[in-house]
Structure 1
Amino acid sequence: MTIKLKLEDTLTSAGLSKNALAREAKVRPNLIYDMCEGKTKRLDLETLGKIIDTLNAMTGRSYTLTDVLEYIPAADR
C-alpha cells in the first residue's frame, strides 16, 4: 500500500503557488514544498484539514481528501 500526495497537481490546476497556500493556511512553507515533492512521511490530520479548508477558501471550489491524497494498493504498484 502506498499513499501518494497529489498537492502539486491540485495547486497547479487551481493556479495557486505553494507560498500562497502556506501563507494562507498558516503552515510552514517547507511543509507544503515537502508535500509537493513527495518527501512527507507523516502528516498531522489537523494540518491536512487546514490545507484543504484553505484551498476551498482560496478557490471557491470544494476540495476533498481525494484531491490531495491517492491510495495505491500494493497490487497496483
Structure 2
Amino acid sequence: MALSIKIVLGHTLDTANITKNALAREAKVRPNLIYDLCEGKTKRLDLDTLNNIINTLRSMTGNDYSLTDVLVYGPEDK
C-alpha cells in the first residue's frame, strides 16, 4: 500500500467556520495559495508559510492547531 501526504486544510477551515479569504487576509498570503491548498493543487509548501498558516489559525480561533490540521500522511487515494 502506497502512502502520501494529503492536505486537509479545507476540512479544518470548514470545522472552524473560517473562510479561505479570511485566512489568506489574516495570514497575509495570496488567496490563490489557500484555495490551491484546499483543492489539493499545491505540490510544494514553504515551511515558513505552513508555520504562518498554523499560527494564524491559532490566533483567529484561540484553539491549538498543529501540523496534522493542515497535512496528514496516510494511504494514497486511488
| Bin of the TM-score, shorter chain as denominator length | over 0.9
Give the distance between the partners of 1:44 and 1:73, measured in 2 at CA. 23
Whether 1:4 aligns to 2:2 is no
**Structure 2 unmatched ranges of 5 or more:** none
TM-score, structure 1 as length reference = 0.93
Amino acid at match of 1:26: K
Counterpart position of 1:22: 24
Which residue among 28, 34, 57 is the counterpart of 1:32?
34
Higher normalized helix content (fraction of residues): 1
Amino acid at match of 2:34: I
What percent of counterpart residues are identical?
67
What is the total number of aligned residue pairs between the two structures?
76
TM-score, structure 2 as length reference = 0.92
Counterpart position of 1:71: 73
**Structure 1 unmatched ranges of 5 or more:** none
Counterpart position of 1:44: 46
Q: CA deviation at 1:61?
A: 0.1
Whether 1:59 aligns to 2:65 is no
